[in-house]
Structure 1
Amino acid sequence: MVLSVHGHVGRCSFVSIQLTAAHSTRLLASCRSLNRRALHAKTSTKSASDRRCRKIQCTGFPDQQTSTSGRQDTQQSISHSDRYRRGQKGMPYKLISALALGGTALTAYLAVSKLSGAPVVCLASGGCGSVLNSEYATVFGIPLSLLGLGAYSAVAALSIRGILSQSSKTPVSQYGVLAGGAVLASCSASLLYVLLTRFEGEACTWCLTSAGLSFGILAAACSGFSRRQLQDVAPQGGGLIAATILFLSLAWSGIDPQGAEAVYDIPYQAATVTTQSSSRGEQLAKRLNDAGAKMYGAFWCSHCHEQKEAFGSQAMKDFPYVECYPDGFHKFDDLAKQCKDANIQAFPAWIIKGQTYSGAQSFDKLEKILDSQ
């Protein structure tokens, strides 16, 4: 039997070949076997290539590994620096500086009043004198308002530094305002506890205002940190707060709660002028009296007594003096009406023809004022 085969099978092509049936069967079987080997070789080559690619992707070449490691270290370093920059940019330095400057002004007023012995104006009923003049207003002999002035000033300086150097990578201002806020807030919390437990029924406007400023600074400073950063500094912050409270507790440990303000319940006792008057002093006292001048003071004010001593005992009969605490210094007592109407803020205070002059004045200054009127 003879077949005429035309066409192709896989890679075997033949045209017009005269074959017998047996030859044709063997040829077809050989072509199919060749096709299977070719397909298997192609598949094996592709699998080996895929394995090599996967191995390179997983391990990389040595130079690629070094490059990848360097990039990771660089990214970690950049991430570490960016964390501080993001904290600084997010810190509300302007708000903190405003609060700190307000606290600086408040404590400066209280410190000057404390050091000069001048009365403090209180907007709340009942007055603030018994709180601000109590033993709790000092720490180891230093006025607490003076320490507060230093703390508020430091926070204000750091916040202004943060405003002026936003691009700085150093977190000095960032952590400085946080530490300052923690100290101020813990101190205010201690004072509020004393106010509630030792001075029941008395509202101290200045104390409450300072507490509000302190807590505001701390809250604003915390808002400039991420939660992770706050968790990182929590042990140090807790230690700082505990140290502040412990410091105040030690300073106030010897105070008798029942007698903390007893020293400021002072009965009136006029100080005696013992110096001799000069002719100039007597004449000047008479001129001041004739001009309607007044010197406002308090019986417990040492500077007021020194001013009287400068004029001498003989000049006292014409000396234009007004006592602002004629009934003594007592809790909840306010200034005498005449002093209050004159808006006296410090002792001694001279009012000569409508002009106020704070502090003790020399003879030359008083004569010059009288001559210029």
Structure 2
Amino acid sequence: MSKTKKLRPHELIAQSGAGRRVAQSPELVVLGPALCGMLLTGYLTYVALRGGTPAFCSAESACDLIQHSRWSSLLGLPLALWGFVVYGLLAANAWRLPARLVRWRRLWLLAWFGLAVSLYMTLVAWLQLDAFCTWCLLSLALMAAIFIRVSLNRPKSAPGTEWRHWLTYCGVATLVTLGGLQLYYSDMLAPREDPQLQALASHLQRSGAKFYGTFWCPTCQEQKRLFGTSAERLPYVECTPDGRNGLVARACIEAKINRYPTWVIREQRYSQMLNIEDLTRLSRFKWRETP
């Protein structure tokens, strides 16, 4: 019959301290990519707040289109800033957290939501803008690497039944989150039309003006945003209905459009974005016509 060795008080303290050090040691494999993600999203946030274009992204490139699209911000803040917060939370939890199981659950949950949102935004850019951003794909790769690493490092102490229930809750929460994003970026929550902008857009339509542009042109999208929810009333002509590399629309060829956006107002051509005052003056719109 074996005897259990009785440890002295100082030995118990030493073992206890060692256990705490192991539990609190940084997850360096997660911490590294998280810090890289913070640098990347921090840079993109800085560029977005300055209104500039990220490095290696030429004007009207796919990257520039995404950075200046309505999907590049959330609740009035650059989307990159929200990514910076997620990477920051990942780095903080990977650096110090006493209980290993609690740490793992937090890391997995953050990486799960970060990856889900990154995949959603990549899909939106592909389907809505026919564009991919190198910076965005790099962030997606970092988040995917973190998620895979954390998933493979699941502690054996994680209960199986509870884990399955937790996955279900996370799945439902993710669907609700992505559904909320889709609702936010759709026109369902858009504010009511401004009567003056509505009247101006309708006047441009009635007067025979034409607004030629493309869905991948950042300046064209900025031009539309000036009209808010009344943008649908503009006399807009999409010049690349079959995609960026597709055939140019016949109407644009006949009008000899080679720059976007291009306005044709009262037989005069303006190959630039026009503000509300210019459109009012050039189209001879009278504000008293506003209902």
**TM value normalised by structure 2:** 0.52
CA distance in 1, matches of 2:260, 2:135: 20
1:117 aligns with 2:51: yes
Q: Which of 167, 176, 184 is the matching residue for 2:114?
A: 184
Tell whether the 8 Å contact from 2:38 to 2:87 is kept in structure 1 after alignment: yes
Match of 1:263 among 208, 221, 228: 221
Residue 135 of structure 1 aligns with an amino acid whose one-letter code is R
Root-mean-square deviation (CA, aligned residues, Å) is 3.4
Between structure 1 and structure 2, the one with the greater Rg is 1
Correspondences of 1:18-57 after superposition (within 5 Å) = none
Aligned with 2:66 (options 128, 131, 137): 131
- Length, aligned pairs only: 176
5+ residue gaps, structure 2: 1-18, 191-213, 225-258, 262-291
Q: Name the CA distance, whole Å, in 1 between partners of 2:183 and 2:168.
A: 22
Equivalent residue number for residue 145 of structure 2: 216
| Contact 1:134/1:260 (<8 A) preserved | no
Q: Which of 101, 105, 110 is residue 171 of structure 1 equivalent to?
A: 101
Q: Is the 8 A contact 2:73 2:79 kept in 1?
A: yes
Question: Could you give the per-residue CA deviations for residues 315-353 of structure 1, whole angstroms, max 9, x where no partner exists?
Answer: xxxxxxxxxxxxx998xxxxxxxxxxxxxxxxxxxxxxx
Would you say the 8 A contact 2:26–2:96 is kept in 1? Answer: no
Distance 1:92 1:265, change over 3 A: farther
Contact 2:62/2:216 (8 A) holds in 1? no
| Correspondence for 2:29 among 83, 95, 98 | 95
Q: Distance in 2 between matches of 1:240 and 1:223?
A: 22
Aligned-partner residue type, residue 213 of structure 1? L
Taking the aligned partners of 2:32 and 2:177, their CA distance within structure 1 comes to 24
Question: What is aligned with 2:129?
Answer: 199
The 1-side partners of 2:89 and 2:185 are apart by 25
- Equivalent position SS for 2:187: coil
2:199 is aligned with 1:241? no
The percentage of aligned residue pairs carrying the same residue is 21
Name the CA shift for 1:132/1:123 in 2 (closer, same or farther; >3 Å): closer
Deviation at 1:198, TM superposition (A): 1.4
Say which is worse superposed, 247-256 or 149-158, in terms of deviation.
Answer: 247-256
Once the two structures are TM-superposed, the CA of residue 149 in structure 1 deviates from its matched residue by 0.8
Amino acid across the alignment from 2:153: G
Q: What's the CA shift for 1:156?
A: 0.7
The aligned runs of 1:1-373 (5 Å cut-off) are 93-122=27-56, 126-162=61-97, 168-169=98-99, 171-200=101-130, 202-225=131-154, 226=156, 228=160, 230-254=163-187, 261=218, 262-264=220-222
CA apart distance, 1:119: 1.9
Aligned-partner Cα distance in 2 for 1:182–1:217: 9
Amino acid corresponding to residue 244 of structure 1 in structure 2: T
CA deviation after TM superposition for structure 1 residue 137, in Å: 0.5
Shift of 1:108: 0.4
**What whole-Å deviation, never above 9, does each CA across 1:105-162 have from its counterpart, x for those lacking one?**
1110011111111221136993511101100011122211111111110111100114
Gaps of 5+ in 1: 1-84, 163-167, 267-327, 331-373
Contact 1:106/1:210 (CA < 8 Å) preserved in 2? yes
Give yes or no for contact 1:136–1:252 (8 Å, CA) kept in 2: yes
Cα 1:123–1:115 change in 2 (3 A) is closer
